[in-house]
Structure 1
């Protein structure tokens, strides 16, 4: 009698876990229902979760011009936040950078002999007006030399596992840099930064999420640096020619060289959720970006996802474990023609769940698919509180026992 009871009941012991994050998956048809972008490459993500909303040649390394400065500014912010650098520190401007700043093709903020600039002033000049001299000077300050700073840029890219090869801290290519002796030793005379759309978007994601104060500078349209007017190059900001009230752009960075063409990474919010989007190699960056942004807005709706009990089987045995209940929620962008019930997938435990499970510990993954877009996302489940699981041996094992399917969200989930 006892054996019969556990044989029937053992398989319904559940793990109840918190839905803790979404992991974007690269899929060839992720943007099949969205209009083609008139650019070499494009990419768009949810800034918080990293969910991929659009991708086109997203891993192809192409010239990105001044979008390069986003990596430079990230490394500056990192040193400021760690205490290695202060916003008020003075930054030397050598004669070559002064010359560069006075050239109409490479300069946007003139730097005069004996004029002093702080880290903050150069940071603002590089982000708002895309000053090349400011970016290179900041790199020299952080790295100790131009070569060492570029090495730091490439090292950071490797740590993030992104497609990026940097030879310049400003985005200028060697055809310009060689005139000021800032071409990197050992590189081709025409060498330029080659970075993918996904990579520069991920760099932007780190910059915004780790240092949100950058948005205060990114949305600034004009300010004065040592009495010189610094004007934005981002024409989608409020008060600028391409501003659209429905799109709510508040950053981020533009870029152009004859080889890179028009490049643009922007950030904006939809119903309180931040999105980062990039277009590379466009003939007209602002109209191209506006079209992409409007297309995304027409295609996606943000769905609130409520975690619920999910049944799990440990991968190494037919044992089921119990875990604590949850109260937090998260969400997902899905196409307007897709219901949450259409998101299919199986929840499986990632590792044997033995002993105490700490708060936030990953216990399971589930891949879900938006059938209309073909976009795949991986959901991770984490424990909500520390828990000591009790395992039950299934006495009557079934030879065809399979991991138990579980619904991702409650049926009462609503459209955001």
Structure 2
């Protein structure tokens, strides 16, 4: 009896240990892969928009001065379209002058009544996060900062941003705008999700790569004789210098916390990172360093699907009215992706044949030309999920056309007639055979 009591006690202890361990295991499994303390973060491939890491990517958060990337985009687009020029003069009004001298705000001093070029104001905004310079550019483009909010919203929609709210051009809290609220009230502040910020940065770098010529400058020597430092301390010559960093934008307010959108290039590979609502001024940079190290040390571009790949279990398609009754199929180009070390075998293909090309029996009809598209192959993860990208362009990267590898000419009338006769007698023979079998 004592032996059974001992066994029962041991079993109870084992069950208790297991039940105690389960929540810890679940918690560990759900823990952020990089252990970041920031509220939200993203890592993407700057070339394709492939998403390599995300944390709370769709949560709407304060964005602060990172919203100036929208004005960078709009200014560069306006330059390209000839609406404004780099050497165009902008006269500073009283409001912009007063804002440029507001204490505890990032600014370069702008003198009332004096004229500054678009390039000077743009550099002040992109390098030293000049808030008044941003407002001056907004007024130049839209007449008033209130009108400029409509420009920002329209551009955000064009770029496919989903989670955002703009109440001013600079990213300041409205309460700091000396009683001038372009939208919202005194407590309002610009908001974006990490995904929206990443998409904005992705489009900015992709559409206007010249942005990096300015955002990568460690400091700005302004006309007042002063030198203004770049707040992005990840730029190589600054405090948290990281090899290859040449942008993009920092931002911080009491509401938004500490933010930074960064981009770095080594060799042919460029990444974009977003860190939002960091705990401290420095942690946003140390955590970005962690994300960039993770990217450069763990990912590399590889050919996942070779050119002329032949789908398994579907090497050919049946053909009717042709000199041949089958045609081989294969892909017409390779698919390359950023792959995490040793993860190449974690992908699978999904073949989709174009039903419009087939008859009711699932056959192609001759003639079939070599290189003719008959469908496509999509690359997926082994669990059937699509590979994540920032934009719909990702479908073009992970999908490849499937084509006929040979010509199949249409058979002449005599051959088709003989086949018809042969088919008729074949059907008759099958019918007779079935009948005879039924006799026995």
Bucket of the pairwise TM-score, normalised by the shorter protein: 0.7 to 0.9
Task: Structure 1 unaligned segments of length 5 or more: list them.
Answer: 1-30, 396-416
1:147 maps to 146
TM-score between the two structures when normalised by the length of structure 1: 0.74
**Change over 3 Å in CA distance of 1:144–1:332 after alignment to 2:** same
43-52 or 289-298, which moves further after superposition? 289-298
- Equivalent residues of 2:128, 2:231 under 8 A apart: yes
Q: Aligned-pair distance for 1:219? A: 0.8
**1:106 and 2:105 are equivalent in the alignment:** yes
Q: Greater RCO between the two (CA within 8 Å, min separation 6)?
A: 1
2:26 maps to none
Q: Aligned-pair distance for 1:121? A: 0.9
1:169-184 correspondence to structure 2 within 5 Å:
169-177=169-177, 179-181=178-180, 183-184=181-182
Residues of 1 paired with 2:379 and 2:100: CA distance? 51
Residues of 2 paired with 1:267 and 1:312: CA distance? 40
Q: How many residues align?
A: 352
- Equivalent residues of 2:376, 2:402 under 8 A apart: no
CA deviation map 1:198-234 (0-9, x unaligned): 1111111111111111111011112323234232111
Larger Rg: 2
**1:272 and 2:268 are equivalent in the alignment:** yes
2:194 maps to 197
CA RMSD in angstroms, aligned pairs only: 3.7
Q: Aligned-pair distance for 1:146? A: 0.9
**Change over 3 Å in CA distance of 1:33–1:63 after alignment to 2:** closer
2:286 maps to 287
- Equivalent residues of 1:321, 1:392 under 8 A apart: no
Q: Aligned-pair distance for 1:122? A: 0.8
**1:335 and 2:335 are equivalent in the alignment:** no
**1:239 and 2:237 are equivalent in the alignment:** yes
CA deviation map 1:18-40 (0-9, x unaligned): xxxxxxxxxxxxx9783132111
Residues of 1 paired with 2:354 and 2:67: CA distance? 37
1:24 maps to none
Residues of 1 paired with 2:124 and 2:133: CA distance? 6
- Equivalent residues of 2:300, 2:338 under 8 A apart: yes
- Equivalent residues of 1:313, 1:348 under 8 A apart: no
Q: Aligned-pair distance for 1:376? A: 5.1
Residues of 1 paired with 2:115 and 2:353: CA distance? 58
Q: Aligned-pair distance for 1:139? A: 1.0
**Change over 3 Å in CA distance of 1:389–1:77 after alignment to 2:** farther
SS in 2 for 1:345: strand
SS in 2 for 1:279: strand
**1:261 and 2:266 are equivalent in the alignment:** no
Q: Aligned-pair distance for 1:240? A: 0.4
**Change over 3 Å in CA distance of 1:155–1:376 after alignment to 2:** closer
Q: Aligned-pair distance for 1:159? A: 2.4
Q: Aligned-pair distance for 1:251? A: 1.0
1:369 maps to 381
2:212 maps to 215
CA deviation map 1:150-176 (0-9, x unaligned): 111111222233211111111012111
SS in 2 for 1:72: helix
Residues of 1 paired with 2:351 and 2:33: CA distance? 29
Residues of 2 paired with 1:351 and 1:230: CA distance? 62
Task: Structure 2 unaligned segments of length 5 or more: list them.
Answer: 1-29, 320-325, 359-366, 390-394, 412-418, 420-440
2:81 maps to 82
1:414 maps to none
